[in-house]
Amino acid sequence: MRSDRGNLTSRLVAAGSAVLLGLAGAAIAADPASASGHHPTPGSAGLGDRLYPLLGNGGYDVQNYDLSVFYPKKDPAQQVRGNVTITAVATQSLSRFDLDFGGDGVGKVTVNGRPAAFSRSGDELIITPQRPLDNHRRFTVTVSGFTATPISPNANSPAGFVTTPDGTIMAGQPDQSHQLFPSNDHPRDLATYTITMTAPVGWTATANGQPIRTTQRGGYVTSTYREFHPMAAELIQLAVGDFVTVNRAPVNGIPIRDVVPRRLADKLLPEAADERNEVAWMESKVGRYPFERYGSLVIDGDLGFALETQTLSLYDTTWFSLPTVILNPVLTHELAHQWFGDSVAPWVWSDVWQNEGHATWYEVLYAYETGTLKEYAGVTTLDDYYKRAYANGDRWRARYGPVAYPLRSDSIWDVFNPNVYDGGALALFALRQKIGVRDFERLERAWVAKYRGRSASTQDFIALASRVSGQDLRSFLNDWLYGSKTPPMPGHPDWTTTAVSSSAVAPALHR
Ligand SMILES: [Zn+2]
């Protein structure tokens, strides 16, 4: 397919909302009739994402989460309970609205301080305030005494609110963070966060962003973090357990801290040390790091993936058992996501190639520029790397769908498929061939600057690429991103793809 219709439609609507609200971005699509009228109607149960239809909620735009979670014992498998106060702006007149929540229970809900009726349906927490909420008006909703129990990660449910031998952590991408807390769990709705964790003395608690305060009382330690930069719910991190937090020397003024299991600190901390070089390298490529701090969280286990939780990337010990020539490009991949995917969030999940294509691009480029591409990928030049990816292009498209249009979302790996990783990076290589290295590098910097702290779509990327290069790239990039066949590679007319009939597709490396 050539165009993502759901994407285009929702952008038109949201552009209207953004003008009405005077917001910089992150406005939520609402039904145009109800958005413009005064008659209160229910907010939609989802944002209409083609791949995750019920993810997110219509009718409001969250500004801030104030989340607190209580961990009663030193038990990674225990149920936790929490409170969240969400400050939001209505984007339509609301008779009722939903939050995403898949946890165990809900104690009480208030809207603007008054008790509100609620019910649950699947992962929807449906809230009916005593009085309808006016369009454009700010409101607060507090969910008190919600409970949630972490899962033990396995092949069927690798992610979410998960246990480790040392405590619990979050791996919410793309649709699991609301298993812990009520939220608008779609990356189109970014918000700031205050995260407060209370756990028994002896356990430590780390979350995204800046540490604000720690207090101790009655055998419990309460730690508060503030993420001042807009963040998608999927990127939240609460690492609570027998972990140790270690600060490293800042890089260009950016504080670096790592969080690892206390009993494994001596082994794991040296292996993460190169992240400081990688931060400097990424800043040399695309400009200033977008957040307050950076670092790595390493857990003991085998999740099967690494994850770019905002300001604190998540890895497991399986990654850290690999040689540094393998680990370092993966560290660079998650670091690159802080710009591509976190700071600039996808508008819909079909745009996930923007996250993964760019992160793969810098992962491979880092290996190349540090002279380790041969050990990392078995080839010596970028041309060789992308020539091999090109050969897979038609098979990937046949199996998973076009780069910017994953066909299925039955499994997370249908969406996070090889054609958004290496296929996305291959499309960027093609674009670089087409517009030249200089304009490509200007585009990359312009993209993360223009859309910093916002969600952006594939069409936004195509428009910016056209503007920066002075070329109309719509046809070229639509073919690369939405075509069912791999287009010819500029400058390499001899590159060929392997026939689709072959069933062998390279195994995915999830990062
Ligand atoms: Zn990634």
Mean pLDDT by 10 residues, the chain (511 residues): 26 31 36 60 97 97 98 98 98 98 98 98 98 98 98 82 97 97 98 98 98 98 98 98 97 98 98 97 98 98 94 97 96 98 98 98 98 97 98 97 96 95 98 98 98 98 98 98 98 94 52 66
Evaluate whether residue 415 is within a structural domain: yes
Evaluate whether residue 171 is within a structural domain: no
CA dihedral 33, 348, 412, 177 (to 10 degrees): -70
Rounded Cα–Cα distance for residues 413 and 334 (Å): 17
Q: Residue 398, by phi and psi: left (phi above 0), alpha (psi -120 to 50) or beta?
A: alpha
Å from CA of 356 to ligand 1 middle: 5
Evaluate whether residue 459 is within a structural domain: yes
Å from CA of 334 to ligand 1 middle: 6
Only one residue has tokens 């810098």, namely 362
Å from CA of 349 to ligand 1 middle: 13
C-beta of residue 343 within 8 angstroms of C-beta of residue 291: yes
For the domain that residue 445 is a member of, what is the CATH number?
1.10.390.10
| Domain count across the chain | 1
C-beta of residue 166 within 8 angstroms of C-beta of residue 138: no
Which residues does 475 contact at the CB level (< 8 Å), separation at least 6?
none
- Residue 33 has a pLDDT of 46
Here the tokens at position 198 are 């209370």
- Check residue 179 and report its DSSP letter: G
Rounded Cα–Cα distance for residues 331 and 320 (Å): 10
Residues spanned by the domain of 446: 344-504
HEC profile for 453-491? CEEECHHHHHHHHHHHHCCCCHHHHHHHHHCCCCCCECC
Side chain identity, residue 114: R
- Residue 27 has a pLDDT of 39
pTM over 0.85: yes
Evaluate whether residue 362 is within a structural domain: yes
- For 9-27, give one letter per residue: b (16+ CB within 10 A) or e: ebbebbebbbeebebebbb
Evaluate whether residue 438 is within a structural domain: yes
Only one residue has tokens 């609570």, namely 240
Evaluate whether residue 205 is within a structural domain: no
3 state DSSP class of 287: coil
Only one residue has tokens 């031998």, namely 165
Evaluate whether residue 406 is within a structural domain: yes
Evaluate whether residue 44 is within a structural domain: no
Rounded Cα–Cα distance for residues 314 and 177 (Å): 14
For the chain, the farthest-separated pair of C-alpha atoms sits apart, in whole angstroms, at 71
- Residue 154 has a pLDDT of 79
Continuous segment of H or E residues that includes residue 417: none
Å from CA of 74 to ligand 1 middle: 32
Å from CA of 305 to ligand 1 middle: 9
Angle between helices 458-469 and 437-450 (to 10 degrees): 130
Å from CA of 467 to ligand 1 middle: 27
- Check residue 335 and report its DSSP letter: H
